[in-house]
Amino acid sequence: MLSKLKNKTDRIFLRPAVMLTSIGITPNLVSTVGFLIGVLAGVTLSLGSFTFGGILILFTGLADILDGAMARSAQMASISGGVIDSIFDRYVDSIILLGLGLGGVNWFYVGLALTGSLLVSYTRAKGESVGVEGCDVGIAERSERLIILAGGALLGLAAPAVILVAVLANLTAVWRAIYIVKRV
């Protein structure tokens, strides 16, 4: 849902993106920093510090928005950069959810959320690989999932947030699978 706002977020992040690229910072560097912040978020959550972990989740999400805005605004988008960003995103998604499990959220819910989160991106990639356009249907893309998890951690509602992510992510993955199967 939030991916539909990509042009607006690019405009919002244009000035910082141009400033960072003008001083030699690359989108891949921002992706790497975002990845490291995501790892720190997972570790922080695993130690039970959900408030600080929630803040770190927001920062890893901001880095993910910023690296894309930088790549597009400076015509630095590349296939290898996209691959690196996507792999980092999957690791961060997994590490955050594992951190929540280690921090005390029920592992069954964590497992469902992790499965759904990975399948959301997998179904899109699979659909695109077989030539289906518009595979970004659904209601729980990465941005939405990060916002839900960050909000849950910040508000002391980590377990309900994980359950909500589990439901919405799996619903989105199934929605995408049906969308793709109908078009191949």
Q: What's the rounded mean pLDDT across residues 7-33?
A: 83
Q: What's the rounded mean pLDDT across residues 152-156?
A: 97
The pLDDT assigned to 16 comes to 81
Q: What's the rounded mean pLDDT across residues 146-151?
A: 97
Q: How far apart are CA 123 and CA 7, in angstroms?
A: 24
Which one, of 139, 24, 1, lies nearest residue 76 by Cα? 24
Of the CA atoms within 13 Å of residue 164, those in its CB half-sphere come to 18
Q: How far apart are CA 90 and CA 100, in angstroms?
A: 16
Tokens of 35: 């990845």
The pLDDT assigned to 11 comes to 73
Percent of the chain residues past pLDDT 70, beyond the cut? 95
**Is 89 noted as a catalytic residue in this protein?**
yes
> In the chain, what is the straight-line distance between the N-terminal and C-terminal CA atoms, in Å?
24
* Coil vs helix vs strand at 121: helix
Percent of the chain residues past pLDDT 90, beyond the cut? 75
Q: How many residues does the chain have?
A: 184
The sign of the dihedral angle between the CA atoms of 82, 87, 90, 92 is negative
- With 60 as the cut, is the pLDDT of residue 20 above it? yes
Asked if 114 contacts 145 with a C-beta cutoff of 8 angstroms, the reply is no
Tokens of 10: 């690019």
Q: For each of the domains in the chain, give its residue range(s) and CATH number, in order of start.
A: 2-181 (1.20.120.1760)
Tokens of 152: 């849950």
- With 70 as the cut, is the pLDDT of residue 10 above it? no
β strands within the chain, DSSP E: none
Active-site residue, from 85, 89, 93, 136: 89
Q: What's the rounded mean pLDDT across residues 24-33?
A: 92
pLDDT band at 6 (very low <50, low <70, confident <90, very high): low
